[in-house]
Amino acid sequence: MNITGTTANVSVKLVGDDGTSGGVRHLCRPGSFQRGSHDVFVVACDRSLGRVSRLTIWHDNAGTAPGWYLSTITVRDLQTNDYYHFVADTWLTLSTLGDHGEIEKELRCLGMRKLVISQLTCSR
């Protein structure tokens, strides 16, 4: 995840063809979600989700600076080694400026084909 920092507690829910990641999955680790960071988390599931088609990410608006900018999320299935790429390119904040005003966002997967094209484009 690439973000501009937050003091809020961040959570995620993954949805795949064969199931969901279940209840609330909190993404917390000391030093996470700092400005310009790239954070990695493991979300364990009881069973395979199949192809991940969407995810919901949100925060609880806690702390002195809860609003944050989320750029992208990449999900890697550790069993199949498949990668799923999600582009947010949005602020998660209750600010009323621009398109802000949301602390929860549902993102749809770009798909494997677009991920490969994106990787080729970025490597030049």
Q: Which two tokens stand for residue 14?
A: 């993954």
Residues 113, 34: Cα–Cα separation, whole Å: 31
62-93 pLDDT, tens per residue?
Answer: 988 888 888 889 898 888 888 999 999 888 88
Could you give the number of structural domains in the chain?
1
* Average of per-residue pLDDT values in the chain: 81
Query: What is the percent of the chain where pLDDT is above 90?
Result: 31
CATH number assigned to the domain comprising residue 112 = 2.60.60.20
Least confident among 4-18, 43-57, 69-83, 109-123:
109-123
- pLDDT for 99 beyond 50: yes
**CA dihedral for 49, 80, 78, 27, sign (positive or negative):** negative
- pLDDT for 112 beyond 70: no
Domain coverage including residue 93: 2-122
What is the reported pLDDT for 18? 94
